[in-house]
Amino acid sequence: MSLKTRIGEGFLLAPGVYDALSALLAQRGNAEAVYLSGASIAYTRFGRPDIGLVTMTEVAEVIAAIADRIDIPMIVDADNGFGNALNVQRTVRTFERVGAAALQLEDQTMPKRCGHLAGKTLIPTDEMVGKIRAACDARTTEDTLIVARTDAIAVEGFERALARAESYLEAGADVLFIEAPRTLNEMQTITTQFGRRIPLLANMVEGGHTPVLNAKELEEIGYTIAIFPGGAVRFLAAAAAEYYESLVSTGSNAAMANRMHDFGSLNDVIGTDDMLALGKTYEGTS
């Protein structure tokens, strides 16, 4: 089922992932779609913040690895398209080709930064409209969705963010993502103004600016998609810090053994026996 069709059937929760293993685990956890977080790639691949350090080709490599391992749709954080409208078109063609079902484009300048960090700056509305039009023209199928994100609330205020969102809808966006509303009332205003006309995406970040609601609550106020982009990485960072401290202090994994896979169970998760068996079918008989 395409992501476009799935969204038409009702509310969708897309867990955040950052590599093929995390995406596989999300699929095994019954996720119907995943969200590839640019911030999470920066955190896990480079140990750096989400301040525009990850390149288009680096993201494409991660998309390809994930698409080779899962069979559910992937929404991809494409930052600001990694340049102007022509760069956006190259990004769309590349990401679509390697497995993205949707590309999220934002209206920040370069270098961009996390939507819940201070100090963001925006490109003009007209420039972002051109990027959205360029993205729509570049895709090979309308099943590839263009998610238009505005970070204007923190920079220009709530009313200007709504105005930008109207322009992005008119430009052809398939989904609107108005980043970092600060109150439940702002969230409800967004869904009242746009919810009957276009799918809306909500970004849930513990410790961010937006009230954190569960999927049912988001659906009830009119959102269509909820992403939880960095939850897995924050969980991993806390658990891994505890693991390494325990290993170094005790000299053993014994204290953590009941909280981790052993060699065999991890191989079961990643399908080692099935892959080895597949390999044998291609071996010669002589």
- Domains of the chain, by residue range, sit at 3-232, 237-280
171: confidence class by pLDDT, cuts 50, 70, 90: very high
Residue 188 has pLDDT above 80, yes or no: yes
Measured from the Cβ of residue 183, the count of other Cβ atoms closer than 10 Å reads 12
Q: Mapping DSSP to helix (H, G, I), strand (E, B) and coil, where does residue 270 land?
A: helix
Query: Which residues pair with residue 263 across a beta bridge?
Result: none
What tens digit of pLDDT does each residue of 227-261 get? 999 999 999 999 999 999 999 999 999 999 999 99
Task: Give whole-number Cα distances, 199 to 2, 70, 262, in Å.
Answer: 15, 24, 42
Q: Which residues contact 63 (CB under 8 A, 6 or more apart)?
A: 36, 74, 76, 95, 98, 99, 100
Residue 117 has pLDDT above 70, yes or no: no
Record: fold of 3-232: TIM Barrel (3.20.20)
- Rounded to two decimals, what is the model's pTM? 0.95
What tens digit of pLDDT does each residue of 123-138 get? 999 999 999 999 999 9
What tens digit of pLDDT does each residue of 146-158 get? 999 999 999 999 9
Alpha carbon distance 206, 140 (integer Å): 36
Residue 108 has pLDDT above 80, yes or no: yes
CA 239-241-246 angle, 5° bins: 95
Residue 114 has pLDDT above 80, yes or no: no
What is the residue type of 74?
M
Q: What percent of the chain has pLDDT over 70?
A: 98
Average pLDDT over residues 146-174: 97
